[in-house]
Amino acid sequence: MPTIGIADTTFARYNMGRAAIDEIQKNVSVQIKRVTVPGIKDLPVAAKKLIEEEGCDIVMALGMPGGKQKDKMCAHEASQGLIMAQLMTNTHIIEVFVHEDEGKDEKELAFLMDRRTREHALNVIKLLFKPEKLVREAGTGQRQGFEDAGPLRM
Ligand code: RDL
Ligand code: RDL
């Protein structure tokens, strides 16, 4: 049975790990390993350990960069670390970041954090079990959270 790793943070203002696990378990039967770290800069090593030490086949890295400039910098650094961890392990780490200023209020932010997490959980399932489904969606302007952009109309 494949193993999906879930790494999330205490900094986030919504329980993204719980949403991811709920969505995965609604759709497939897999083993899940979850870790929670303080913030997004702690996600790269947490994800790498899930892959190398816990045998995860794919990992979701879930986090919420804050709205300040230093948080944006922090998110960029965390992203680079996550990409490095993917290259070091030859394993996908699906980064799900929702910036705190993406929602116009707390309700919209919570909605977005839930939706983006769940939509990326479905992407993880496709990457693991049905990669041909993603090929069918190529070029269709998929977005996770708010509505899809859609394909270009010509
Ligand atoms: O290693 C401990 C912390 O440095 C680490 O957890 C950071 O990711 C924490 N952190 C910041 O220091 C910061 O300035 C976070 C943010 N901003 C942020 O916007 N989101 C986070 N962590 O998840
Ligand atoms: O690992 C899952 C996602 O983080 C990853 O697929 C990103 O490349 C998705 N993505 C963004 O998160 C974003 O803020 C994309 C863009 N912007 C973008 O402009 N174009 C993309 N992806 O193809």
Three-state SS at 8:
strand
CA 114 distance to own-chain centroid: 11
Ligand 2 center from residue 58 Cα (angstroms): 17
Strand partners, 31: 3
The fold adopted by the segment(s) 3-137 is Rossmann fold (3.40.50)
Residue 3 pLDDT class (50, 70, 90 cuts): very high
2 lines ligand 1 (CB under 6 A): no
| Amino acid letter, residue 55 | G
Q: pLDDT by residue (tens digit) across 83-112?
A: 999 999 999 999 999 999 999 999 999 999
How far is residue 22 from each of residues 17, 33, 38, 119, 154, measured CA to CA in Å? 9, 13, 22, 12, 39
The region, left, alpha or beta by phi > 0 then psi within -120 to 50, assigned to residue 2 is: beta
Atom of ligand 2 nearest to the CA of 79: 4
95 CA to middle of ligand 2, Å? 8
pLDDT value for 154: 92
User: How many A from CA of 31 to the centre of ligand 2?
Assistant: 26
Domain chopping of the chain, boundaries: 3-137
Q: What is the mean pLDDT of the chain?
A: 98
Tokens of 133: 């489904």
**Residue 151 φ then ψ, to 5°:** -75, 160
ipTM (interface pTM): 0.97
Residue pointed to by tokens 């209020």? 105
SS3 state at 61? strand
- Predicted confidence at residue 26, as pLDDT, reads 98
Residue 58's Cα: distance from chain center in Å?
11
Q: Are 23 and 61 in contact (CB under 8 A)?
A: no
CA angle 72, 74, 77 (to 5 degrees): 110
Give the ligand whose atoms come closest to the C-alpha of residue 43.
1
Residues whose CB is less than 8 angstroms from the CB of residue 116 and which lie 6 or more positions away in sequence, other chains included: 96, 98, 144, 145
What pLDDT does residue 25 have? 98
**Amino acid identity, position 5:** G
The per-residue pLDDT for range 42-59, each reduced to its tens digit, is 999 999 999 999 999 999
For residues 66-90, average pLDDT: 98
For residue 144, what pLDDT band results from cuts at 50, 70 and 90? very high
